[in-house]
Amino acid sequence: AQTVTQSQPEMSVQEAETVTLSCTYDTSESDYYLFWYKQPPSRQMILVIRQEAYKQQNATENRFSVNFQKAAKSFSLKISDSQLGDAAMYFCAHVGRSQGNLIFGKGTKLSVKP
Amino acid sequence: GAVVSQHPSRVICKSGTSVKIECRSLDFQATTMFWYRQFPKQSLMLMATSNEGSKATYEQGVEKDKFLINHASLTLSTLTVTSAHPEDSSFYICSARSGQGINNEQFFGPGTRLTVL
């Protein structure tokens, strides 16, 4: 069975600083994707970044980047130059070729202090 | 990105009544749609997966007779909560994918808050 673990229920960062959110996963599949989703107070799920497991290069999207350690099954999200609008719940998720459904972690609530 | 809409955004109903929630993909054809349930301060829990024209596949523990899912077209899926009770009060989120392949992005609707009195 696939599982996704986010061990940080809450994190806080000062505006303009950098923060890293942790995520580990377990899977028996060789073909899978990993995602970070943002859920602001509006509760609309927004895709932040995604990583294909077969790609060694870490994905980046502007201020967001991941550290994908496949052997360790770790997939952390780094947010640089944090902004007030980054405050939200962040969910790590996995989808495997065989299962086909997104499996979400429990989420990390990120607060950004001005 | 593609847009998925949900209607209504919030609904309040009396215990014992049925409620229908619509999920529409506005600018793409959704081969596969997913329904999630999210309790306050918790993660999204998958309820069921539906492919257009086929019966939905329900996750373990989800009553298919209570949560009726219909995916009759490539742009519309509906979730009907039958004989709703207060414990069914939750935030329901749909998402849609343009293909069955996992490389296709899933787009999420804005959610529906259901309150059962």
The reply to whether residue B43 touches residue A107, judged by beta carbons under 8 angstroms, is yes
pLDDT at A7 over 90: yes
**B53's tokens:** 């024209």
Tens digit of each residue's pLDDT (9 = 90 or more) over A29-64: 999 999 999 999 999 999 999 999 999 899 999 999
pLDDT value, residue A20: 98
52-71 in chain A: CB under 8 A from chain B: 52
Pick B102's closest partner by Cβ from A100, A104, A106: A100
Nearest CA in chain B to A102: B46
Q: Does B95 touch chain A (CB under 8 A)?
A: yes
Tens digit of each residue's pLDDT (9 = 90 or more) over A19-28: 999 999 999 9
Cis check: omega of the bond before B8, within 30 degrees of 0: yes
| CB A60, CB A51: distance < 8 Å | no
Categorize the per-residue pLDDT at B63 as very low, low, confident or very high, splitting at 50, 70 and 90.
Answer: very high
Tens digit of each residue's pLDDT (9 = 90 or more) over B70-110: 988 999 999 999 999 999 999 999 999 987 777 778 999 99
The reply to whether residue A45 touches residue B95, judged by beta carbons under 8 angstroms, is yes
Of A103, A84, A82, the closest CA to residue A23 belongs to A103
